[in-house]
């Protein structure tokens, strides 16, 4: 499954770097490591990766700063792996458009499952062929993962694209947070429902607030067309 897939590990603790490298190699992934933020950005710019695993408390440029740089260039899946387990730190990570946030200490088997799911989802997003959706001024091309709103291109991460595409495929259908977690975050039951809210917030910021509706007590849906 992981043949040819490359992961950038950004971690300054040698023991964790070695642990991740060994486990991921056993899963068939190719890995490259960076020990600080400057090194991470340089390696990211020089190579092609399918996932970035990113510690926050790293030297020179912290993980948040690295994520900001990556997000200006790419929608590649980004997973924060950090000892910062407070709500504020995790929410900041999701607000920076990370696809996942895992706290230390962590279960290696569960982490591998999360990584596999992110890689699978990235494969599906890039390879899935389908009809271009046009709805209420939004154009979504599942082949190229390009999105435009009223003719203006909007850059989305792979997870944001999947979330928008899911909502837009069924106009008027309300998706609860639990439904969206099952569809898009299918690797375990430990994911906080607030991850859905964070990604909806990011979509609204990029697309405008009128395109995704909150249905109180039920969930989210794509906004109805004006009659």
pLDDT score of 3: 58
Q: What is the mean pLDDT of residues 22-35?
A: 95
Q: Identical fold at 6-126 and 129-222?
A: no
Whether residue 67 is predicted with pLDDT greater than 90 in this model: the reply is yes
One of 3.50.50.60, 3.20.20.330, 3.40.50.10260, 3.40.50.2300 is the CATH number of 6-126, namely: 3.40.50.2300
pLDDT band at 124 (very low <50, low <70, confident <90, very high): low
Which band of pLDDT confidence, cut at 50, 70 and 90, is reported for residue 73? Answer: confident
The verdict on pTM exceeding 0.75 is no
Domain locations along the chain: 6-126, 129-222
CA 42/CA 12 separation, integer angstroms: 15
**CA 221, CA 211: separation in Å to the nearest integer?**
9
Contacts of 74 (CB under 8 A, 6+ apart): none
Residue 127 is predicted with a pLDDT of: 47
Give the pLDDT band (50/70/90) at residue 227.
very low
Span 188-196, average pLDDT: 70
Fold observed for domain 129-222: Arc Repressor Mutant, subunit A (1.10.10)
User: In the prediction, which pLDDT does 195 show?
Assistant: 86
């Amino acid at each position: 499954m992981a043949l040819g897939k490359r992961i950038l590990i950004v971690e300054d603790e040698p023991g964790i770097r070695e642990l991740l490298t060994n486990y991921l190699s056993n899963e068939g992934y190719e890995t490259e490591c960076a020990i600080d933020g400057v090194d991470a950005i340089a390696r990211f710019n020089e190579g092609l990766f399918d996932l970035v695993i990113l510690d926050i408390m790293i030297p020179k440029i912290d993980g948040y700063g690295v994520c900001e740089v990556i997000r200006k260039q790419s929608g590649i899946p980004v997973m924060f792996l950090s000892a910062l387990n407070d709500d504020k730190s995790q929410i900041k990570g999701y607000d920076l458009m990370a696809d996942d946030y895992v706290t230390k200490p962590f279960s290696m088997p569960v982490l591998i499952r999360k990584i596999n799911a992110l890689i699978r989802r990235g494969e599906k997003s890039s390879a899935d062929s389908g009809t271009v959706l046009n709805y209420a001024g939004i154009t979504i091309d599942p082949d190229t993962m390009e999105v435009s709103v009223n003719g203006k291109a909007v850059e989305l991460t792979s997870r944001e694209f999947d979330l928008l595409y899911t909502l837009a495929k069924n106009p008027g259908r309300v998706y609860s947070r639990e439904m969206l977690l099952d569809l898009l975050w299918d690797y375990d039951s430990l994911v906080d429902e607030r991850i859905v809210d964070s990604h909806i917030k990011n979509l609204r910021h990029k697309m405008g607030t009128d395109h995704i509706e909150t249905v109180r007590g039920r969930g989210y849906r794509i906004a109805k067309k004006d009659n």
